[in-house]
Amino acid sequence: MKETESQIRRRRTFAIISHPDAGKTTLTEKLLLYGGAIQQAGIVKGKKGARAAVSDWMEIEKQRGISVTSSVLQFEYNDRCINILDTPGHQDFSEDTYRTLMAADSAVMVIDGAKGVEAQTKKLFKVCAMRGIPLFTFVNKMDRDARNPFDLLEEIEQVLGIETYPMNWPIGSGKEFKGVYDRNAKEILAFRSVGKVGTQQAEKIEAHLGDSNLDDLLTPELHQTLCDDIELLDGAAYEFDKEKVDAGKLTPVFFGSALTNFGVEPFLADFLRLTTPPLARHASCGVIDPYSDEFSGFVFKIQANMNKAHRDRIAFVRICSGKFERGMDVLHVQGGKKVKLAQSTQMMASEREIVDEAYAGDIIGIFDPGIFSIGDTITTAKTPFTFDGIPTFAPEHFARVSQVDTMKRKQFVKGIEQIAQEGAIQIFKELDGGMEEVIVGVVGVLQFEVLEYRLKNEYNVDIRMQRLPYGFIRWIDNADEIDVKSLSLTSDTRRVEDFKDRKLLLFTSAWNITWAEEHNKGLMLSEVGR
């Protein structure tokens, strides 16, 4: 057990979140660069011929330069085993990010130094706050013109409602960017551009604040501004409090530039020093200790067709306790059956390798013959239990979808059901109806494009898509107690059920929701499906 315990203590599992274009994927790649997992970072939106980002494995991601599905990346650094959950930044794919955050023990929030806290950052922060997980902030793109750092800290505190503690402090920005001052070491890390876009690791030039030669290095004006800023910070800013960091109440803030590699390695070193090993998890039987002898984990993501040659399905499992060994028998709690975990892999985006053992905190991919759903629990515990479920978030856009060629009905149904089981889309049908007419709901409209692309390329099915006027959906919490078909509803409200046979209502306006609640005594509606 000692070996298992020491292995678990080495693990650090975190997600990286941001608004689109804040530099999240670039930062992820630079962390891999320092960990020796890759030799050269890819440029996400590079010119023709430039490398595609390692974490973007789906063909449409490489074409569009965006991340549309979460990637899992593992590497070793300074005797730590690091699992990065790289999430889609684009708001149209935010549900994948919400689920992925359920598998993380902490999160890194990337903010564009010129734009500050943006819309998608706020949404993702709420999920982190809901779980109370530690949050670390990397203010990116300091090699470009950025806002005043005091203004950025104030915005984080005011908009997100979390205290901040700057671990380092920028000296200028854009063309005037000279580096950062490390508040703990009381040293300056000077900025020096390396290569065209800093695809190799940046050099360090260290100097102490107050040295007379700093006027030459920084310019007298920037040296004086730095002295004034640090004096103000030391006197007025929040004090560093590790307990507040662990509770998600205070975020350590780092300034740097992922593109040029500047500040990435010091950030990684401090982050690994401050972030937690695998955390205990809530379950139906109480709290599950990661160091327990019993193996347990939950499915937080399902991805079909990662390997075109095999047309397979992989269930991504967050290990919550104990040790995984390939070939072990586990109970699939929701299915009520024993399952042999013979085919297991670990990921580097689309690259995968067979894994023989893994520990609490790790993410593994297991072959899914079609039995797993998002939120399912697997365990070797003698008394079965389930981890807290992963909520289904309400889609905001809807379309009626059908196949063009009626002879390809089977492929169409298989494709749309498999993609729905991944959680990329939600599918609905008329009450007691079949799959003759499918209504697809998505969080963002770009998901319709991905659906069409994947059905065509993975299942060889062309589709017709007709957008529908609905903008709101509510699950009926007490569908077993009422007659859904006889509800008094407005003419443009639609009764449907999802593929788990849960009853729902589709509304065109918020007014219609109120009308339904007022005219149906006892009707209980929910924005989240559980």
Going from N- to C-terminal start, the domains of the chain cover 10-69+105-274, 281-379, 392-529
Convert the pLDDT of each residue in 327-365 to its tens digit.
999 999 999 999 998 876 655 444 567 788 899 999 888
What gap in Å lies between CA 252 and CA 137, rounded to an integer?
6
Amino acid code (one letter) for 424: A
> Domain spanning 392-529 has what CATH number?
3.30.70.3280
Which of 113-117, 346-350, 497-501 tops mean pLDDT? 113-117
pLDDT at residue 311 in the model? 57
Which pLDDT score is estimated for 13?
94
Return the pLDDT at 196. Answer: 57
Q: Please tell me the CATH code under which domain 281-379 is placed.
A: 3.40.50.300
The CA distance from 497 to 490, in Å, is 18
| C-alpha–C-alpha distance, residues 302 and 304, integer Å | 7
Q: Do domains 10-69+105-274 and 281-379 have the same CATH topology?
A: yes
450 vs 378, which has greater pLDDT?
Answer: 378
Band of pLDDT at residue 490, cut at 50, 70 and 90: very high
Helices 94-101/119-131 angle, 10° precision: 20
CA-CA distance, 288 to 374, in Å (whole number)? 19
Q: What predicted TM-score, i.e. pTM, was given to this entire model?
A: 0.76
pLDDT at 197: 53
pLDDT at residue 282 in the model: 92
484: pLDDT strictly greater than 60: yes
CB half-sphere exposure, 455, CA atoms < 13 A: 30
Greatest mean pLDDT range, 22-31, 33-42, 76-85, 375-384? 375-384
Highest-pLDDT range among 1-15, 148-162, 211-225, 388-402:
148-162
Tell me if 411 sits within 8 A of 459, measured CB to CB.
yes
Mean pLDDT for the stretch of residues 157-186? 92
Please state the CATH superfamily assignment of the domain spanning residues 10-69+105-274 in this structure. Answer: P-loop containing nucleotide triphosphate hydrolases (3.40.50.300)
